[in-house]
Amino acid sequence: MMVELGHFALVLALLLSVAQASLPLYGAARRHLGLMEVGRGAALASFVLVALAFAVLINAYVTSDFSVANVVENSHTDKPLLYKITGVWGNHEGSMVLWVFILTLFGAAVAWFGDNLPPELRARVLAVQGMIGTGFLLFILFTSNPFLRVLPAPANGQGLNPVLQDPGLAFHPPFLYLGYVGFSVAFSFAVAALIEGRVDAAWARWVRPWTLAAWCALTIGIAMGSWWAYYTLGWGGWWFWDPVENASLMPWLAGTALLHTAIVVEKRDTLKSWTILLAIVTFSLSLVGTFLVRSGVLTSVHAFAVDPTRGTFILLLLLVAIGGPLTLYAVRAPALKGGGLFAPLSREGALVLNNLLLACAVATVFLGTLYPLFLDAVGGPKVSVGYPFFNRTFVPLMVPLLLAVAVGPLMAWKRGDLLGALQRMWAAFAVVLVVVVGGLYATKGGPVLAVLGFGLAAWVAMGALTEWAERVRLFRAPPGETLRRVVNLPRSAYGMTIAHLGVAVAVAGFAASAFETESIQTMRAGDTIPIAGFSLEFTGVEPVQGANFNADRGSFLLRRDGALVAELHPERRFFPLHQQTTAKTAIHTNFLADFYLALGDPDGKGGWAVRAYWKPLVPWIWIGAVMMALGGLMSLSDRRWRVGAAARARRAPPVAAPAE
């Protein structure tokens, strides 16, 4: 009964979405306020309905209702409660419900917080959101219904893939979807602007916080995914250029470009049609990513079950959702009037360079990801494009971008002074020189490129700090004035500084991977191996019983100069239900380096395969990503975005007087 209620709520949400997609649009064209306002109610109501359906599905998982096919296929009574819940989005149907849930959440947020938007714009934005919702609800109901029953109900389910039973992965999809789907708001704003034929500074000011929020979530989502891959797959890698990883990287790169170009629209009223295009492309890349993962046209470890009907449906959806706006763009964009002119060497120019390089990076990743598909479609051989291609194409694009990141913020709007900016970066030059020369001396014939990578990281960090120092007039003004400036600097300025510092930290983490050491060998209890100045002693393996797995738990003592540094317990877990073995790695970190240990297979003669790695600075990759997201959130909390907040507070109903 409950399950049918969820099913019914989805159908009702679909009908409301159809209303949301059509009536406000007509109302906006006719300037009929009542019809325009339908959008807000419909957006809020469909959010409530989809939330209900989602809650029903979660309930079916928690109570192990095996009359629901989706629960049977992805859950099991022995599974810990956390993974019963996260199993909801560990499969195609459930994750689509989460997708639509987040979509309607954003739609409801626009309706709720959109008081300061002109009614026409708000109505059109909500209508476009409604169209996306309609498409995806149709998709769920017709091809991927999670509420289908199986009768008679099996006694137990098949359980979730053991690899997915991990706290790190549990919250990776929700963040990723918050990012992907969050870009739908920028997309809807872009389409609404094209319909209206008007883009101005106010438009950019409304779009930026939504884009920023989505970008922060996507940054966290990607970082979580890569961190998960790092500590569960047992080989110490954190990025594999897998098609699905690339599918998340492309919207991130495009979203990064969009964040920066929206600043130009807001401040300088120019680059409008490019910004509109980027907003459309960013969300389109999210949609294409969804298509690639779910249609089975590409091979990937992440891919969901293959179903040609689903693929066809999503392709049709893509044709409408991407082809439509791009056609509208071709018709309407030429009429958008450009604003202020600027010299190539200026803040705008630097942001154009940023966009150009990021767009090339997107194109590169896109080509690398889809090349096997293109080749296969014309009857070529099956190939896969991996590390070598991306390292040779993507990295060279990032180098000039990072060089420019440091200088760009120091340039003035309209006409900048590159030479002057570089002169003001004397401290950065000095630090980079010390890092590179010192690094080359210290590593003596080591990897030169990695040392240059450290230099690049130092350059970016110093650029961000120089810009901050200039703003607060560090050492130029009296300390009192500097302090006052430190306090009064807008949060968006701090946001930029923190995010750019995060980039520097992450780049240092990437570069340091050249210095890692590994030792893979068979060890017996009592053996000791030396690695990177440590000694690692293997004291034995004991069996451990988990909730739904049996494990071999290894015990290792890590020593440096005879002193105990850490006790490590990597496990090799066997899930009988799936006949599958996973690695539970043991990582000792001091945030400057990780000691990474994975227990492999026994050789049957008392020996165990042991993989030990010493990875300097690897935690910085994720620390950097978190800093980028924090910078974004900091900027998001700037009061500038809350223009109209005061008006909303005034209209709030008065607090009821306490009873006597």
Partner 1 sequence: MRRALFLLPVALFLVLAAYFGLALTSGRDPHELPSAMIDKPAPAFTLAGLDGTPGLARASLGGQVAIVNFFASWCIPCRIEHPLLMRLSETLSVPVYGIAYKDRPEDAQQFLAQLGDPYGRVGLDESGRVGIDFGVYGVPETYVIDKAGRIRLRHVGPLTAEAVSNELAPLVKMLGRS
Which parts of this chain interact with partner 1 (CB under 8 A)?
69, 72-73, 150, 152, 154, 158, 273, 277, 280-281, 284, 291, 295-299, 303, 306, 308, 311-312, 315, 318-319, 322-323, 326-327, 329-330, 333-334, 370, 372-374, 376-377, 382, 579
Cβ proximity to partner 1: between 377 and 437 the closer is 377
Cβ proximity to partner 1: between 146 and 632 the closer is 146
Bridge partners, residue 540, by sequence: 555
Query: C-beta of 341: minimal distance to partner 1 in Å?
Result: 17
Query: C-beta of 156: minimal distance to partner 1 in Å?
Result: 9
Pairing of strands 550-560, 580-584: unpaired
Cβ proximity to partner 1: between 64 and 539 the closer is 64
Q: Which amino acid is at 608?
A: W
Q: Which DSSP symbol is given to 159?
A: -
Query: C-beta of 139: minimal distance to partner 1 in Å?
Result: 15
Report in angstroms the alpha-carbon separations of 286 from 121, 246, 289, 291, 318. Answer: 24, 11, 5, 9, 11
Cβ proximity to partner 1: between 81 and 377 the closer is 377
Cα 421 off chain centre by: 33
Report in angstroms the alpha-carbon separations of 499 from 152, 325, 480. Answer: 55, 31, 27
Tokens 């049918």 sit at which residue? 4
Cβ proximity to partner 1: between 315 and 341 the closer is 315
Query: C-beta of 424: minimal distance to partner 1 in Å?
Result: 37
Burial profile 335-367: b = 16 or more Cβ within 10 angstroms, e = fewer: ebeebeebeebbbbbbbbbbbebbbbbbebbbe
Cβ proximity to partner 1: between 14 and 72 the closer is 72
Cβ proximity to partner 1: between 188 and 273 the closer is 273
Query: Which residues have a Cβ under 8 Å from the Cβ of 611 and sit 6 or more positions away?
Result: 234, 235, 236, 518, 519, 520, 597, 598, 600
Whether 558 contacts 565, CB under 8 Å: yes
Query: Between vectors from CA 253 to CA 284 and to CA 451, what angle results, nearest 5°?
Result: 160
Query: C-beta of 312: minimal distance to partner 1 in Å?
Result: 6
Query: C-beta of 183: minimal distance to partner 1 in Å?
Result: 17
Report in angstroms the alpha-carbon separations of 324 from 128, 130, 131, 142, 251. Answer: 11, 15, 11, 22, 19
**Residue 156: helix, strand or coil by DSSP?**
coil
Query: C-beta of 379: minimal distance to partner 1 in Å?
Result: 9
Query: C-beta of 577: minimal distance to partner 1 in Å?
Result: 9
For the residues of 339-379, what is the DSSP string, one character each? -----SSSHHHHHHHHHHHHHHHHHHHHHHHHHHHHHHHTT
Q: Minimal CA–CA distance to 614: which of 505, 522, 520?
A: 520
Cβ proximity to partner 1: between 383 and 544 the closer is 383
**Residue 19: helix, strand or coil by DSSP?**
helix
Query: C-beta of 299: minimal distance to partner 1 in Å?
Result: 4
Query: C-beta of 386: minimal distance to partner 1 in Å?
Result: 15
Cβ proximity to partner 1: between 230 and 241 the closer is 241
Cβ proximity to partner 1: between 22 and 295 the closer is 295
Report in angstroms the alpha-carbon separations of 155 from 66, 432, 580, 588. Answer: 7, 65, 22, 42
